[in-house]
Amino acid sequence: MVGTAMLAGLCVEYYTRMERGKIGGASESVLDAIARVLQLDDDERAHLNDLARNVLPRPRRPRAQPVTAITASVQQVLDSMSVPAVIQNARLDILAANALGRALYSVLFDGASSTPNFARFAFLDSRASTFYPDIDDARDLVVGVLRATVGRDPLDRTTTELVGELSTRSADFAFRWAKHDVRRHTRGRKLIHHPQIGQLDLTFDDFVLPVNGDLSITTYTALEGSPSADGIRLLVAQAALDSDAPSLILERTTQ
């Protein structure tokens, strides 16, 4: 009988070839076997299924342009939230924010000449290592999210161009990208050292917008009674001081 180690080796090779798009579609039972032998978690299983779906032969169709505009109604929902919130796409561009979200990520918005992007900030901005107390975890999350995004749509030019840019400009990104780790941005812990507020220990939750699965609202909350909850209240005061500045809307349409 083939040993577990040999099976694992075969599965890794199969998985790697699939990720490179060099193998035909696999049956559900084969995918389950690979996931079981490699002990993949839920995010990794989802990525494996994305890879299998994308290597299946499909008729050529014109690729629809992704909808990235933020409608007035969505912005209104964002502004009504009492917690920091941003809208981001799958390549980690920040497309909109409420006043608290803008205050939380002021270092990304200050002097930004283009759309703020979490990945570019984490790897190309020298302030990131101070803003994120655990910079390794922050960068691993960025890489894992981008890897999952590429797995869902390998032909998305904007994402592949971003990966190429980061690989060229950051040896650290290239090293982490080569490890093929994958994560979904759904819920987790975010440690931030805000330049005005100080240390914040927050929980983030991602809510996919039903009109466009590429966009999601990410909210940030703190445990009630904690120092981080006090920090959020300080953010409220800071946002009030900046209330003459409108909420960020980088791409917006009317209803």
Whether the model pTM is above 0.75: no
* Range picked from 4-18, 27-41, 183-197 for highest mean pLDDT: 183-197
Q: What is the DSSP letter of 246?
A: P
User: Residue 140, SS3?
Assistant: helix
pLDDT per position as a tens digit, 228-248: 999 999 999 888 877 654 444
| CATH label, 70-253, candidates 3.30.360.10, 3.30.1370.60, 3.30.450.180, 3.40.50.1980 | 3.30.450.180
pLDDT per position as a tens digit, 123-134: 999 999 999 999
At 23 the pLDDT is 52
Which residue bears the tokens 């009492």? 82
At 245 the pLDDT is 46
Q: What is the mean pLDDT of residues 148-164?
A: 88
Question: Is 253 or 180 the better-scoring residue by pLDDT?
Answer: 180
At 239 the pLDDT is 83
Which residue bears the tokens 């409108």? 246
- Is the separation of the CB atoms in 69 and 43 below 8 Å? no
For residue 15, pLDDT over 60 is answered with no
Which residue bears the tokens 């800071």? 238
For residue 14, pLDDT over 80 is answered with no
User: Residue 208, SS3?
Assistant: strand
| Distance (Å, whole) CA 101 – CA 56 | 40
Which residue bears the tokens 């100080």? 198
Residue type, 60: R
User: Residue 97, SS3?
Assistant: strand
Which residue bears the tokens 């299998």? 52
Any residues with CB less than 8 A from the CB of 213 and at least 6 apart, and which?
Answer: none
Q: Which H helix or E strand runs over 187?
A: strand 187-194
For residue 198, pLDDT over 90 is answered with yes
Encoded tokens for 72:
């007035």
At 168 the pLDDT is 96
> HSE on the CB side for 159, CA within 13 Å?
20
For residue 144, pLDDT over 80 is answered with yes
At 9 the pLDDT is 47
Q: Is the dihedral of CA 29, 153, 40, 3 positive or negative?
A: positive
So where are the chain's domains? Answer: 4-55, 70-253
Rg for the chain (alpha carbons), in Å?
20
**192, β-bridge pairs:** 200
The number of angstroms, rounded, from the C-alpha of 73 to the middle of its chain's C-alpha atoms is: 23
Q: What is the DSSP letter of 179?
A: T
Residue type, 14: Y
**253, β-bridge pairs:** 71
